[in-house]
Amino acid sequence: MSGVRVLVGTRKGAFILSADGARKSWDVRGPFFEGWEIYHVKASPVNPDRIYASQSSGWFGQIIQRSDDGGLTWAPVGNGFAYDGVAGTHQWYDGTPHPWEFARVWHLEPSLSDPETVLAGVEDAALFKSVDGGVNWTELSGLRGHDTGAQWQPGAGGMCLHTIIESPKDPSRLFVAISAAGAFRSDDAGQSWRPINAGLRSQGIPDEDAEVGHCVHRIALHPSNPDVLFMQKHWDVMRSNDAGDSWFEVSGDLPSDFGFVIDVHAHEPETVYVLPITSDSVHYPPEGKLRVYRSRTGGNEWEPLTKGLPQSNCYVDVLRDAMSIDSLDQCGVYFGTTGGQVYVSSDAGDSWETIVRDLPAVLSVEVQTLA
């Protein structure tokens, strides 16, 4: 029977939540890596038993953990994230040059075709690749070495590379997003990159529509139509129909167009989910009501999804890697909050239930659909 496995990274460890296809009764395992920040946990789409986890600490640095048995056991692999060549500088918050310094791995993106290959997005922003299951890491330095690199600057959470997408139709095409540099695309498997930020407008930078400097929070696409990208920017929900060459706003009637997460329905390429947050200074839902918004028209027209979600006195945040979608026939949607709740909708967002409600603050949620 089909089932799902939800991989949850939190401020104090990782958790694995499992259920059959009904998604009503849940087995909760963890914490794994107790006390450590787990920024991201993600499985290989080729081998579902191969799972990678980013374990980090401001005191003790970065560890990459790997499981080859679906999360039952784990072993540390490589943590040698050395920038290629002379690291150089980027802009600091005050606009002065600041040396590139590795802090942590924000996001792990296993290859769509090879379980040994995985990409890592790190802070300070750079992209690393391993082709041996996470043991050794090499920087794809064409990204950080882009002509604009010295202009990149950190967002409020640091200068992190948090989104990595491999095009399902063209393995040489990669998309990444960096706070606060913007979105970038490679058409040669990560060797060279170009900014894809035309159409974005951002306050807080001298030139509102500059080539780089935009605080992109998340990008998502549907596998059947990888030229259509959806973006939750700091402010504004955006859409591109040309693989990022140009963007236009689809925030429409959202109560706030600030937020972190964005994702696409597994079977409906024009059905998109966001979770509005009040503002960049008020990181909780508008009016204290936790509402996912769904557009069935690829943006602009949004409906609130509230059934089963708290509609008063809710002051949690939902961070950029904390929403995921399964691919069961009745599409499931998942998200985790800084209050430690993980919610599931097994009917594409129409209604919601709590899987767990008292975890440490949730940093990331990824779901595996198991045969």
Q: Which CB sits closer to another protein, 82 or 156?
A: 82
Q: Which CB sits closer to another protein, 134 or 276?
A: 134
Q: Which CB sits closer to another protein, 48 or 76?
A: 76
Q: Which CB sits closer to another protein, 299 or 360?
A: 360
Q: Which CB sits closer to another protein, 122 or 181?
A: 122
Q: Which CB sits closer to another protein, 72 or 82?
A: 82
Lookup result for tokens 């659909």: 369
Residue numbers 22-81 binding another protein by CB under 8 A: 33-36, 57-63, 76, 79-80
Distance CA 110, CA 232 (A): 22
Give CA separation, 211 vs 159, 207, 229, 234, 314, in Å: 17, 9, 18, 16, 37
Rounded to a whole number of angstroms, the minimum distance from the CB of residue 60 to another protein is: 4
Rounded to a whole number of angstroms, the minimum distance from the CB of residue 292 to another protein is: 35
Rounded to a whole number of angstroms, the minimum distance from the CB of residue 92 to another protein is: 18
Number of H helices, E strands in the chain: 0, 30
Are residues 263 and 220 in contact, defined by beta-carbon separation less than 8 angstroms? yes
Rounded to a whole number of angstroms, the minimum distance from the CB of residue 79 to another protein is: 5
Closest to 219 in 3D by CA, of 203, 201, 228, 232: 232
Q: Which CB sits closer to another protein, 90 or 283?
A: 90
| Angle of CA points 6, 7, 10, to nearest 5° | 125
Rounded to a whole number of angstroms, the minimum distance from the CB of residue 31 to another protein is: 10
Contact call for residue 85 and another protein (CB under 8 A): no
Residue numbers 196-255 binding another protein by CB under 8 A: none
Closest to 196 in 3D by CA, of 143, 153, 136: 143
Distance CA 135, CA 92 (A): 31
Distance CA 341, CA 361 (A): 8
Strand order, beta sheet including 51-57? 37-43, 51-57, 61-67, 75-76
Q: Which CB sits closer to another protein, 61 or 97?
A: 61
Rounded to a whole number of angstroms, the minimum distance from the CB of residue 193 to another protein is: 24
Count of residues that interact with another protein, criterion CB under 8 A: 15
Give CA separation, 142 vs 84, 148, 190, in Å: 10, 11, 7
Lookup result for tokens 């038993």: 49
Tell me the sheet residues that pair with 259. Answer: 276
Question: Helix, strand, or coil here: 82?
Answer: coil
Give CA separation, 288 vs 51, 155, 277, 284, in Å: 35, 25, 10, 7
Of the candidate residues 82, 156, 198, 282, the single one contacting another protein (CB under 8 A): 82
Rounded to a whole number of angstroms, the minimum distance from the CB of residue 37 to another protein is: 10
Distance CA 363, CA 348 (A): 22
Q: Which CB sits closer to another protein, 13 or 110?
A: 13
Rounded to a whole number of angstroms, the minimum distance from the CB of residue 54 to another protein is: 14
Rounded to a whole number of angstroms, the minimum distance from the CB of residue 120 to another protein is: 14
For another protein, the binding residues (CB under 8 A) are: 33-36, 57-63, 76, 79-80, 82
